[in-house]
Amino acid sequence: MNTSNSTQFLDILKAKEISENFGSPVYVYDETILKQSAQAVLNFPNAFGLTARYAMKACPNRSILKLFHDMGLHIDASSGHEVHRAIEAGFEPEKISLSAQEIPGDLEALLGLGIRFNACSLKQLEVFGQLKPNSSVGVRFNPGSGSGGNNRTNVGGVSSSFGIWHEFVPEVQSIAERYQLCIERIHTHIGSGSDPQVWLKVALMNFQLVEQFETVKVLNLGGGYKVGRMPNELSTDLQVIGEPVRKAFVEFAQSTGREIHLEIEPGTFLVANAGALLAEVHDIVSTGSDGYNFIKLNTGMTELLRPSIYGSQHPIDILNCDQTGQGIEKDYVVVGHCCESGDILTPASGDPELLATRNFKEVEIGDLVVIGGAGAYASAMTPKHYNSYPEAAEVLLQSDGSLKLIRKRQDRSAIWENEL
Ligand code: LLP
């Protein structure tokens, strides 16, 4: 068994209890791990104060939002809809920062509630200026360089449409002057699963932007901290990466007299390894001696899309029900339940087009399967209704060991309830 950090909170007894009570597939989140990661984020080294935001797009279930709210995290929202969702879950509007690709239709009303806004393009800054002249605003810049776990999650540099290109400072200043805007915050986010060294380099480069705006009081360095989901993958240590950042804030204050407040907004770091997807072996097929052995699950891209689009790697444990440990080991490709050949849970690393195998012992139909690292961008990011599969349930494994249903399995008829 390939037990990794991100699956070990579910042993066979707990997994059985969950599948018997709530069915499968089901997402399971571990309250203790959620709290530990929130605490690690809140402890990020800082010189003149820290606001730690949760990038709620990673896993926006209301119970998780409430848990993070109660621990003192604020919110990074990526759409107007997310802002409403966070408010519904109990977040005070002033704790919500919106950095969106699309201007919400009700931006004026949201600003009226008191949310913070980051203009992510010159057009957005212009629209903000028209709605709220003589006020304060943040600006998201593309600092010119980025880093992601793969090319699709790199959002810095010339190939990325996110944020205002760093050379367009004069354009930003002229819009700010036209509407008497005070640029109070600079924001950058360069990618997800970033290389810690590149993240650090770009974080420090941001002071060049802060220097050009005398009114800036807050620097938001985004999220993107790499989390190892597989046992051989390393995770970013926030203390290690944060210390040089803290020093840079101190040095900037010494040379300019400006004490800048730090914001960070991780998503993955807070939830990735606090969540697992519990499923079942539904079928086992083979394509002969020159082919592959396939394990088909009762889940797949409908609950976890990341392997299919990024070739991302998630630990998979098969919890063999008879536990004799006698069976023979075999290499298997693990696939999902959609009529879609790309529904693969074990692609080659970084290449969703290629198959890779994993070695498992005595797999049987009906065995329970735990897929780890499924707290971030799993439930939040699925083509869940493909092949008309209903939305899976979500369960919180509370710190006292009890289980709490935090999203019920969708009724089948809800899939087509909006059709006319
Ligand atoms: N801040 C902004 C402005 C963002 O766009 C994001 C993520 C974050 C913070 C949080 O980044 P994180 O700490 O989660 O890396 N679907 C991909 C990740 C896409 C993230 C999009 N933006 C994945 O499954 O890895």
> What CA–CA distance (Å, rounded) separates 181 from 192?
31
> What CA–CA distance (Å, rounded) separates 113 from 104?
14
CATH code of the domain containing 368: 2.40.37.10
Asked whether residue 90 is domain-assigned, the answer is yes
Asked whether residue 20 is domain-assigned, the answer is no
Last residue of a domain, one of 209, 237, 269: 269
Divide the 420 residues of the chain into consecutive groups of 10 and give the mean pLDDT of each group: 62 95 98 98 98 98 98 98 98 98 97 98 98 98 86 84 95 98 95 86 91 97 95 94 95 97 98 98 97 98 97 94 70 98 96 96 94 98 95 98 98 97
* pLDDT for residue 65: 98
* pLDDT for residue 156: 84
**Residues 6 or more apart in contact with residue 228 via CB below 8 angstroms:** 5, 234, 235
Q: What would the two tokens of residue 86 be?
A: 């966070």
Last residue of a domain, one of 219, 238, 269: 269
Asked if 277 and 265 sit in the same domain, the reply is: no
Last residue of a domain, one of 269, 290, 306: 269
Distance 193 CA to ligand 1 centre (A): 8
Asked if 174 and 265 sit in the same domain, the reply is: yes
User: Does residue 343 line the site of ligand 1, with CB under 6 A?
Assistant: no
Asked if 208 and 72 sit in the same domain, the reply is: yes
Asked if 367 and 257 sit in the same domain, the reply is: no
Asked if 248 and 381 sit in the same domain, the reply is: no
* pLDDT for residue 133: 98
> What CA–CA distance (Å, rounded) separates 393 from 186?
38
SS3 call for 98:
strand
Distance 50 CA to ligand 1 centre (A): 20
Q: Take atom 9 of ligand 1 and give the residue whose Cα is closest.
A: 223
CATH code of the domain containing 71: 3.20.20.10
- What's the CA angle centered on 30, arms 390 and 314, to 5 degrees? 65
Q: Take atom 8 of ligand 1 and give the residue whose Cα is closest.
A: 223
Asked whether residue 15 is domain-assigned, the answer is no
How many structural domains is the chain composed of? Answer: 2
Q: What would the two tokens of residue 72 be?
A: 């003192």
The predicted model scores a pTM of: 0.96
* pLDDT for residue 2: 35
Query: Does the annotation count 339 as an active-site position?
Result: yes
Selected catalytic residue, list 59, 120, 182, 339: 339
Asked whether residue 2 is domain-assigned, the answer is no
Element (H, E) at 185: strand 182-187
- With 0-12 CB in 10 A as exposed, 13-18 as middle and 19+ as buried, what is 1? middle
Mind spelling out the 3-state secondary structure of 298-310? CCCCCCCCHHHHH
Residue with tokens 């249903």: 405
Asked if 304 and 249 sit in the same domain, the reply is: no
Asked if 135 and 109 sit in the same domain, the reply is: yes
Asked whether residue 155 is domain-assigned, the answer is yes
* pLDDT for residue 321: 64
Asked if 376 and 394 sit in the same domain, the reply is: yes
Cβ count near 203 (within 10 Å): 23
Asked if 229 and 312 sit in the same domain, the reply is: no
Asked if 231 and 359 sit in the same domain, the reply is: no
Give the pairing type, strands 351-355 and 316-319: unpaired
Asked whether residue 240 is domain-assigned, the answer is yes
Asked if 357 and 337 sit in the same domain, the reply is: yes
* pLDDT for residue 76: 98
> What CA–CA distance (Å, rounded) separates 364 from 280?
10
- Tell whether omega for the bond before 170 is within 30 degrees of 0, i.e. cis: no
User: Does residue 222 line the site of ligand 1, with CB under 6 A?
Assistant: yes
Domain span at residue 401 reads 273-415
* pLDDT for residue 5: 62
Asked whether residue 17 is domain-assigned, the answer is no
* pLDDT for residue 126: 98
Asked if 278 and 253 sit in the same domain, the reply is: no
Helix ranges (H only) for 147-276 are 169-178, 196-212, 238-256, 268-271
Distance 191 CA to ligand 1 centre (A): 7
